[in-house]
Chains A and B, each alone.
Chain A
Amino acid sequence: MQPEALAPAMNGEGTDRPRWKYMDRILSRPGGYTDEDYDPDTPANNIEAAKILVIGAGGLGCEILKNFALSGFKNIDVIDMDTIDVSNLNRQFLFRQKDVGKSKASVAAEFVMKRVPGCKINAHICKIQDMDEDYYMQFTIVVCGLDSIEARRWMNATLVGMVDMENPDSLKPLIDGGTEGFKGQSRVIFPTMTSCIECQLDMHAPRAAVPLCTLATIPRQPQHCIEWAHIIKWDEERKDIQLDTDDPEHITWLYQTALARAQEFGIAGVTYSMTQGVVKNIIPAIASTNAIIAASCCNEAFKIVTSSAPFLGNPEQNNYMLYTGDSGVYTYTFEHQKKDDCPVCGNLPKDLPVNPQSTLGELVESFAERPESQLKKPNMRTEEKTLFYSAPESLRQQTEGNLKRKLGEMLVDGEEVAVSDPAFTIDFRYKIRFS
């Protein structure tokens, strides 16, 4: 394009996109970080065509949805099973007092669609585990704003498992944001290519725990009294009632029990909200941390979709950005390396052709002979079934009957079988292919 042809677009003249005037101006010409074959028309088209999945509509989710909508993304899905609590309102700015008790995903989607016409957000009030691979396959990028490690691990394993060499669209970049107080991180994962959530599991700080005996005998802090009521006293006195941390009556009971104990030991400071915080493991969320991390996540997604600038993990190897705002403002970006023995992406399942008429015993024997495995005492299972365990003894007895059974009876074509053996540090995973 000639400079004079660019001019009207740069001024925003004659454009029907005044809202995106400045963004279009940046995208409509090549720059120092763009590829040689950068086509100024592509980025805007890519943004319009991209389907983004946002997981979580909480502190990070509100920011992420707003950022995407205001960057011109038009097709967004959001998943959150949670409802709005009054304590969310200080930072989850898509929610109002009247929304308390309603679904986060729906309220957030409606709010953003109202403010940014033309942006379509589908809200799903469910767990991510309720959706199948067909559902996840439709997206260009998956962005997580979650507070749960379990959900992250599930999403990660699902995306790693979806990668199919026959289908370029099966590789879904996963962008993960996380915050805890003044600290946060954003990371970009190309499933099977770069270090995944499971490789990086040790980056999550463990939940600080107090020894049980301290709770039981010599509490020193108000939190100890609450944990005591929560972990010990509840089971003693209300064994038959399942503790529901969202039930005000349950929290009140814990609060009063903790308060009585605190008085007995001369400890001050037990309050209802502290009780709620300790029991639900609430770490104070900071609005600015969420905003910074969400901005970073959306920025990465924007760069990946538009190819307008290098993003985390490409072309440099650095894929993890950490942020600390509790003593000054500090960020550090580094490469978290892929782990060869990562249980999710380290050793991907290999196809294993088997005859459905052969027995499990024959398969176990063949494992003993396979050059790469030579397994002597294998334990093997599918997600659903324990097939055969050499150890411990009780499971061996319970499963040895399976050795005589035909593979066709116990497995379905394409099912994954995981095999472990004490002689090997890694596990072997196979995808059964009936032949």
Chain B
Amino acid sequence: MLKIWSMKQQQQKSDAASGQSKKKKVTAAQLRVQKDLSELSLGTTMTTHFPNPDDILNFTLTLTPDEGLYKSGIFTFTFAISQNFPHEPPKVKCKEKIYHPNIDLEGNVCLNILREDWKPVLNLNAVIVGLQFLFLEPNAQDPLNKDAANDLQQDRDRFRRNVRSAMGGGSVRGESFDRVMK
């Protein structure tokens, strides 16, 4: 053991570690989220909100698409990031009940990088771009809301009408949706 220590002393460079401290250290997950937040490019259609600014692991993202079928809607997603980030993906849910082929009535989102294709090299920006893409290009191949996916596949006009009425707080096939219009 003494030998190891003398190696450590040799390895020590003049500028390296300072003395110990009993104070809590910024966790690896916090450090990574801080980095990701510094690199976020939100554009004009997205804003973040931190209910407790000291807790950067829990926040909401508000998305207001300015084109596509969901234009003028306001959609809120909760982000819950665990201390296991980035080994585990963030948990993302849509707060409103919306009519969307890839989002179910409970707010679960079918986005590959939030589950099976998550890799630690991906960052929060990738997730946010992915969410944005879901509103520009809802896709019928990965349905979480089967009715909505069928509508989209069979009759794009009917799907468009359903999206508009659901966003206005109306109901589609007896299922009522939250009003999300600006």
Which residues of A approach B to under 8 Å, CB–CB?
A: 132-134, 140, 149-150, 153-154, 157, 161-168, 170-171, 173, 190, 192-193, 198, 201-202, 204, 206-213, 216-217, 231-232, 235-236, 304-305, 307, 314, 343-344, 348-351, 377-386, 389-395, 398-399, 412, 414-418, 420-422, 427, 429, 431
Contact = CB atoms under 8 A, between A and B. Distances in A.
Contacts of A171: 4-5, 8
A161 B20 contact: yes
B120 A416 contact: no
A349 B38 contact: no
B28 to A, nearest CB: 5
Contact of B17 (A163, A232, A412): A163
Interface string B23-40: 111111011101101111
Contact of B110 (A133, A211, A421): A211
B37 A211 contact: no
Contact of A379 (B16, B17, B28, B38): B38
B28 A343 contact: yes
Interface stretch (B44-52, B63-71, B159-167): B44-52
B8 A193 contact: yes
A198 B23 contact: no
B174 interface: no
B37 A153 contact: no
A294 B4 CA distance: 23
Contact of B53 (A164, A305, A349, A395): A395
How many chain B residues sit at the interface, stated as a range, is: 35 or more
A170 B27 CA distance: 20
A149 B115 contact: no
B102 to A, nearest CB: 7
Contacts of B112: 211
Given A163-B17, A202-B120, A211-B116, A149 B54 contact: no
A385 to B, nearest CB: 5
Contact of B56 (A211, A344, A386): A386
A140 B1 CA distance: 9
Interface string B115-144: 110111000000000000000000000111
Nearest to A153: B28
Interface string B99-116: 000101110111010111
Most chain B C-beta atoms within 10 Å of own C-beta, residue among A377, A386, A412, A427: A386
Given A150-B84, A161-B20, A393-B42, A420 B108 contact: no
B182 interface: no
A132 B116 contact: no
Residue among A132, A163, A304, A420 with max Cβ neighbours from chain B (10 Å)? A420
A216 B31 contact: no
Given A211-B110, A389-B37, A431-B19, 16 more contacts: A132-B22, A161-B21, A163-B20, A164-B20, A165-B12, A192-B17, A211-B112, A212-B108, A349-B17, A379-B37, A380-B34, A384-B54, A386-B54, A393-B42, A416-B23, A420-B34
Interface of B: 1-5, 7-9, 11-12, 15-28, 30-32, 34-35, 37-40, 42, 47-50, 53-54, 56, 82-84, 87-88, 102, 104-106, 108-110, 112, 114-116, 118-120, 142-144, 146
Contacts of B5: 168, 171
Contacts of A394: 47-50
A38 to B, nearest CB: 12
A134 B21 CA distance: 11
Contacts of B40: 391-392
Contacts of A412: 23
B28 A133 contact: no
Contacts of B39: 391, 422
Given A390-B38, A391-B40, A201 B120 contact: yes
A417 B24 CA distance: 10
Given A210-B116, A393-B47, A418-B30, A192 B8 contact: yes
B16 to A, nearest CB: 6
A201 B8 contact: no
A418 B109 CA distance: 32
B18 A418 contact: no
B142 A416 contact: no
Given A140-B1, A171-B5, A232 B38 contact: no
A164 B12 CA distance: 11
Nearest to A385: B54
Nearest to A342: B28
Leading 3 A-B pairs by shortest Cβ distance:
A213-B142, A383-B24, A164-B20
A217 B142 CA distance: 9
A421 B16 CA distance: 21
Contacts of B54: 381, 384-386
A216 B53 contact: no
B102 A399 contact: no
A32 to B, nearest CB: 18
A10 to B, nearest CB: 26
B146 A216 contact: yes
